[in-house]
Amino acid sequence: MLCFMYQQLDLINISFSSFVSLVMILMFLLCEHNQNVNAASFLIKPNRAQFFVYDSITFHCEGVSYCDVEHKSKGKIESCNKTNRRTSTGSSCTIMTYPADSGEYWFNAGGGERSNSVDIVVTAGSVILEIPALPVMEGEAVTLTCRNKTTSSQTSADFYNYGVFINSSSTGNKIFHSVSKSDEGLYKCSIPGAGESAESRLIIRDGQKETPSSSSSPWIIATVLLLVLLVLVGLLQVVKGYWHRVMFYMSTLRSGSGSAANQTDENKSTSRAVYYTLSLDDTQQLEPAVPASLAVTNLPLTEDALYSTIQ
C-alpha cells in the first residue's frame, strides 16, 4: 500500500514537471511573438513624406538586427547592405534619394511578418511640402511647411486640401494646434514664382485608448496557466508534507512493534532459564556466580551446606 502511494506521488511529480515545462515553452513563444509583432516598427528620419533629389533618408527598423528594407516596386534596397548598422533599439540604413525612389517602403520582420509601411515622394522640382510621413495622434500639434529648395528664408505659401484652397501663410507654415480625424487627407502647397509641391497624405490616428486586440488573448491564457501552476505548487507541497508525516508515523509504529516483539522474546528466554535453574536435581551443584578467577577453592559441600542449598 505504501509503495503504491509512493508511485502515485512520483506520477504527480512527473505530470507536474511536464506542466511546468509546457507553461515555460508557452511563455517563451508568446514573448517571441510579442517582440516580433509589437517591436516591428518602421521609422523614417527626417519624419517627412516629401524629399528633394539627393536628400538623405535614414530608415530605422525597430526590433531586428538587420534592416531588410523593401520598396513596393523595386524590391529589396541593395544600398542598405553597405549602410546597415546596429542601433540601441534595432538597426538602420541610409539611402540617397532619386526620383525613382518614390513609393511605399517597409521591412521584413521575419516569420512572414512585415512592419508598417511609409510612403514618400522624391521630386526634382523646387518645392516640397514638409508633412509627417508617420501617423500622428489625434490631439497633437502638427505644422506643415512649404519649402523652397532655392532659398532658406521664409516665404509666403498657399495650402490646399484635396486640391481645394484652404489658406495662405506669410511664413510658409500651416499650423494645426490640435489635429482631429477631420483634418486627415491629402495636402499640397504652392509658392508664387517657385512652383507647387506634390500631394501627400496626413494620417491621423485615433487618440482614444485602444481596445485590447485578439493578440492579448494568449497572454490571458498564459496568465491563467501561471495561476494554476502556482496553486498546484502549493498543493503539491502540502501533499508531500502530509505524506512525509504519515510515513514517519508509520515507520515509528513499525519500529515500536519490532522492539516489543524483541522484548517478548527476551522475556521468554529468561523464563526458560529460570525454569531450568529451578528444575535442577536436588543434589546438583550450582555454578558459582562469580568468575573462576575470584573463587578461592572448590570445597565440597558439607551436609549442612547441602541442606541449606536445597532449602
Residue 46: cis peptide before it, omega within 30 degrees of 0: yes
Backbone angles phi, psi at 173, to 5 degrees: -120, 145
Tell me if 34 sits within 8 A of 79, measured CB to CB. Answer: no
Task: Give the span between the Cα atoms of 202 and 49, in whole angstroms.
Answer: 9
DSSP state of 293: G
Which neighbouring-strand residues pair with 90? 62
**AA letter at 96:** M
Tell me if 118 sits within 8 A of 92, measured CB to CB. Answer: no
Cβ neighbors of 305 (< 8 A, separation 6 or more) are none
Residue 21: predicted pLDDT: 67
Which neighbouring-strand residues pair with 92? 60, 85
Residue 235 CB: number of other CB atoms within 10 A? Answer: 12
Q: pLDDT tens, position by position, for the chain (311 residues)?
A: 555 555 555 555 555 566 566 656 666 555 554 444 445 699 999 999 999 999 999 999 998 888 889 999 999 998 888 899 999 999 999 999 999 999 999 998 877 788 999 999 999 999 999 999 999 999 999 999 999 998 888 889 999 999 999 999 999 999 999 999 999 999 999 999 999 999 999 999 987 544 444 445 555 776 777 787 778 777 777 777 777 777 777 777 777 666 555 555 555 555 554 444 444 454 455 455 445 454 444 545 555 544 444 44
State how far the alpha carbon of 258 is from the alpha carbons of 229, 248, 250, 251, 254, in Å: 43, 15, 12, 11, 6
Residue 256: predicted pLDDT: 65
pLDDT tens for 163-201 read 999 999 999 999 999 999 999 999 999 999 999 999 999
**How far is Cα of residue 218 from the mean position of the Cα atoms in its chain?**
12
Q: Distance between terminal CA atoms of the chain?
A: 59
